Every structure is written in structure tokens, then in C-alpha cells.
Amino acid sequence: MAIRNIRMDDDEILRKKSKVVKEITPRTEELIDDMIDSVHEYNGVGLAAVQVGVLKRICIVTVEAPEPVENEDGELEEVNPLIHNNGEDLIIINPEIIPQEDCDVTDNEGCLSVPGKFGLVTRPFHITLKAFDRNLEPFELEAEGLLARAICHECDHMDGILYTDKVEGELHDVSELMPEEEEEEIDEEAIPEEEATEE
């Protein structure tokens, strides 16, 4: 397993459509393991294969459960299980997203390929995901809130779409959201150019 370099938003590979995964080879297994290591190394919520230069319809999503909040009675409210996956590594291959209900939500969004920036993007609040796991076994799940947003964001990458294409208004610096000492950015100069691959 290894940490892979993240392609930046000016890399033309991010505008290409990824290809359907038809079989799981040892190289595919290695790619998935590297993507898991990489998304945690860069403190991301998700990572698509194209972001590490591989044109395959694969992504990883990992959303931590939020801290429970107290209600008016001082009791902890139950956290909606559809808005997170407990920080586990959700491996998504050849996905199909089905928006549920007529309810879109606008919220801040960022991307490892556009470091140091964020912007407002409108996405479905509730989705059904149909996809395949790392063994190419089909599965289906429902997601809401941040988990749904992260899945939609990563699946957009597979079609050459960046969140910046959907931003409402201007992009902002992350320094507007958090103190400077808490910012974590990728050192763009440390990322060498690599050739795209279909592995």
C-alpha cells in the first residue's frame, strides 16, 4: 500500500470520463488499498480514482459520525444513521445514484483537487446508491446529508465534473472557515507530474 499523489484541478485528466470496472485484478486491489491510505493521509471525506490518475469508476467515501447534541430535556439525541458511515471506508464501484424526494440542500463543499478553497453547491439531501463493492458484489444503500453529498461529489469526478462547475457564487479560501493554524492543505509543489493510467 502507498500514498498516491492527488491531481490538481488544472490537470486535464480530471475532465475525462472514467471507465466501468469489469473485473477486479491485483492492480485494482492495490489501487483500492492505496486510495484508502491516501484519503486518510490527506484527511479527505472522499477520493475518486481519477484524482490519483486512474480512469476507473471507483471511489472511496468515509464520513465520521457527528457528535450527538442535547435536546431541550438535556438528553442526547440519536444521530441519523443515514448521514454517516462511522468513518468506515465505503468502497464504491460502478455507481448509480437515484435522488429521492424533491429536496435539495445547498452547503459548503471542498475538494482535495482544489486545495484551500470551498464554495456553495446544491445537491440532493437524500439518495439511493446502487453500486458494487471491491469483490464486484452489488449492494444498495440510502444516504442523507453529508454522506449523500460526499457520494454525489465523488461520483461527479467519474464523469469529469468538479464541484467548482456547480459552485453558486465565488470560491472562498478555507481561512474564512477556520483558524489559520487548523488549515491543512496539500503542498502543490510536492506533487510531481505523472502520466494518466487506466491500470
Q: Which residues contact 29 (CB under 8 A, 6 or more apart)?
A: 134
CA 106, CA 124: separation in Å to the nearest integer?
A: 9
Residues written for the chain = 199
- Which of 60, 59, 52 is closest to 14 using CA atoms? 52
Q: Which residue has the cell 480514482?
A: 49
Q: Which residues contact 73 (CB under 8 A, 6 or more apart)?
A: none
State yes or no: is 154 an active-site residue. Answer: yes
Task: Report the first-to-last Cα separation within the chain, whole angstroms.
Answer: 15
Q: Sheet harboring 117-124: ordered strands across? A: 104-109, 117-124, 168-173
DSSP codes, 65-96? PPPP-B-TTSPBPPPPGGG--TT--EEEEEEE
Q: Which residues contact 195 (CB under 8 A, 6 or more apart)?
A: 53
Question: Which of these is catalytic: 41, 140, 154, 185?
Answer: 154
Q: Is the dihedral of CA 70, 71, 72, 74 positive or negative?
A: negative
Which amino acids are annotated catalytic?
154
